[in-house]
Amino acid sequence: MNLIGIYGGSFNPIHIGHLIMANEVLIKLNLEKIIFIPAGNPPHKNLINLASTIDRYNMVKLSIEDNKKFEVSDIEIKKQCITYTYDTLKELKEIYKESKLYFIIGFDSLKELDTWKNIDKMNKYCDFVVVDRNSDSEQIDFLINEYKLKYNLSIHYVQTPNIDISSTMIRQRVKDNINITYMVDKKVEDYIYNNKLFRR
């Protein structure tokens, strides 16, 4: 059975922390590949500072094009309605019927799983992978056990290098005309400046 990682996010923009974390999950869980899915119209995000769907898709595509085990999907951004992880995973499972899907989330998302649409039914479509971004491992373990008991979820915990970079930080640096070299892939850096993203 093929093992496939699913990495959803706003990627506003995608940065090296995302890439390093994804590669760690790929290696530690021995996955065949990881599919990056830029969010379309996510229910939990403030859309005011969100770059356009096509810009975020293009930045992900540029960022991963040199890694044969990384792919990008437009499954969410091509939809006009609010996109829910449950619906996306259900659709992906139809595409990858013979594969096992691992949905990658951070600690912040783990804390909010109770608010997700049909969280009690997601065990039919995926296992979860929680990545540690310098959070309290005891609290992560507590939440994992709680969700396993409450929703019968299969959740794996993968420790990754702590890269203290965020998309929010990058957007602010661009706005303030501060260099972002090495924080994002060079092709993404050029794309941001050439398309005048995050200036407002």
Phi, psi of 103, deg, nearest 5? -95, 120
Report the distance separating Cα 52 and Cα 196, nearest Å.
12
Give the domains, in start order, of the chain with CATH numbers: 2-164 (3.40.50.620)
Q: How confident is the model at residue 163 (pLDDT cuts 50, 70, 90)?
A: confident
Report the distance separating Cα 45 and Cα 50, nearest Å.
9
- Nearest one of 154, 163, 102 to 132, comparing CA atoms: 163
Asked whether the predicted pLDDT for residue 43 surpasses 90, the reply is no
Q: How confident is the model at residue 52 (pLDDT cuts 50, 70, 90)?
A: very high
